[in-house]
Amino acid sequence: MPSEEQRSNEMDEDLLAIDYCIDCGKCYDVCHIAKVTDNKYTPRSKIMLLQKLLDGDELEQEEINDIYLSTCCGACDDICHMKIPITDIIQREREILSQQGKEPARTTQICRNIIEAGSPGRMDASIRNSWATDDLELSESSDVAYMAGCWIAFAHKDIAQSTIKILNAGGVVPRNIPEEKCCGLFLIDNGHLEEAKEYAKEHVEYLESLGIKKVIASCPGCYEVLGKEYAKLFREPEFEVIYSLSLFEQLIDDGKIIPKKLNKTVSVRDACAIMEISDIPRKILSAMGVEVREMFDRKNGCCGGPAGVKPNFPEISSKTAMLTIERFKDTPDGTVSYCPFCYHHLESVCKEKGEEMNMQDISKLLLESIL
């Protein structure tokens, strides 16, 4: 844990980084929340509030809202020519507001749900693994585990089922995790770092106690948190974390699964957390004879839901989602997603707005092509 002096130096480095901002407006252009609010809430406006927080000044409610109107998608970080760690600064501001008891009530509740019940919505943990039906081949002793993640386990069980069927077809028989729980990304995004450290410790030690050597994750958030964030919060886990699509790609390359040509044209709903490996779903689609029409020119196009925006600011979240919904209407065979939270959020907004949606997870499409 950093000392007070180290923490102070970190803050100074943040303020120095903010001083480098030349107000070029590039972050405005890539921020979907800025777009749907006519640049009322921008990445720049958010980070400019750090000095006030450090000086102990009282923030207006609109200023607090600004800090929490970020999905932490990272698009602003990627575009910043001055290399300002915008998302890290927002996380630090949220940490301060949390310590002051000024974060949104829904954020506090969701963090408590994760810590106490293992899921953001305090779902019944006894049904988390109900996706594991008798037609799936699962092992009770394998050192390779499958982690479905909250949104799949409780809202889209068919993604887990499709994933296991694909793995089984390729000769992979994983085990489920008896007491699987949320990865804790929401805690990290909202600056609950001390709680996240303890959470990471407990989660890593539990998985290691099962003798697990590899964890296959379908959720991009779970993949990033288990594979990268836990090492920062606690220590490097003794298990490897594999993204399910990376494994699908490997099985195709090795000839262990052979997709049939589907001759479709789709758009792709990219996952902000893993844009650096967004070639993988496109390679899988190409192997299925599926043509891709790009929605956001291979750049971040956040769905508008993560990091507390959906529960705290539902109207702005829905407007952001509509940027995707309006674009995929022109694709002949719909949209393919590989992020279960995007899928869940966009589906709920379509129902709310009375919009038609032709969207499916890439695992279901791949399963269709190998049956």
User: Given pLDDT bands bounded at 50, 70 and 90, which one contains residue 3?
Assistant: very low
For residue range 117-130, list pLDDT tens digits in order: 999 999 999 999 99
Asked if 75 and 95 touch (Cβ cutoff 8 Å), the reply is no
- The CA distances from residue 257 to 14, 170, 362, in Å, are 48, 6, 15
- Between 189 and 357, where is the model more confident? 189
Predicted confidence (pLDDT) at residue 6 exceeds the cutoff of 50: no
Output DSSP code: residue 259.
P
User: Given pLDDT bands bounded at 50, 70 and 90, which one contains residue 59?
Assistant: very high
* Alpha-carbon span 168 to 139, nearest angstrom: 11
What is the average pLDDT value for the chain, to the nearest integer? 94
Q: Token pair for residue 78?
A: 């990627």
Output the pLDDT for position 300.
79
* Alpha-carbon span 219 to 243, nearest angstrom: 8
Q: Does pTM surpass 0.85?
A: yes
Predicted confidence (pLDDT) at residue 10 exceeds the cutoff of 60: no
Q: Which residues make Cβ contacts (< 8 Å) with residue 74, sequence separation at least 6?
A: 87, 272, 273, 275, 300
How far, rounded to the nearest angstrom, does the alpha carbon of residue 157 sit from its chain's CA centroid?
A: 17
Strands (E), the chain: 144-147, 175-176, 214-217, 240-243, 264-269, 290-292, 335-337, 359-361
For residue range 137-156, list pLDDT tens digits in order: 999 999 999 999 999 999 99
Predicted confidence (pLDDT) at residue 111 exceeds the cutoff of 70: yes
| DSSP state letters, 213-251 | -EEEESSHHHHHIIIIIHHHHT---SSEEEEHHHHHHHH
Predicted confidence (pLDDT) at residue 208 exceeds the cutoff of 50: yes
Predicted confidence (pLDDT) at residue 333 exceeds the cutoff of 80: yes
For residue range 239-255, list pLDDT tens digits in order: 999 999 999 999 999 99
* Alpha-carbon span 167 to 172, nearest angstrom: 5
| DSSP state letters, 74-136 | -HHHHH-TT---HHHHHHHHHHHHHHTT-S-HHHHHHHHHHHHHSSTT---GGGTTTT--TTS
Predicted confidence (pLDDT) at residue 2 exceeds the cutoff of 60: no
- The CA distances from residue 334 to 30, 195, 267, 295, in Å, are 24, 40, 6, 12
For residue range 218-234, list pLDDT tens digits in order: 999 999 999 999 999 99
Output the pLDDT for position 356.
85
For residue range 258-293, list pLDDT tens digits in order: 999 999 999 999 999 999 999 999 999 999 999 999
User: Which residue has tokens 């507390």?
Assistant: 308
**Nearest one of 85, 83, 84, 111 to 97, comparing CA atoms:** 111
User: Given pLDDT bands bounded at 50, 70 and 90, which one contains residue 330?
Assistant: confident
Q: Token pair for residue 224?
A: 């990033």
Provide the b/e sequence for 55-77 (b: ≥16 CB within 10 Å): eeeebeeebbbbbbbbbbbbbbb
* Alpha-carbon span 280 to 212, nearest angstrom: 25
- The percentage of residues in the chain with a pLDDT greater than 70, rounded to a whole number, is 97
Output the pLDDT for position 309.
98
Question: Phi first, then psi: what are they for 149, rounded to 5°?
Answer: 90, 160
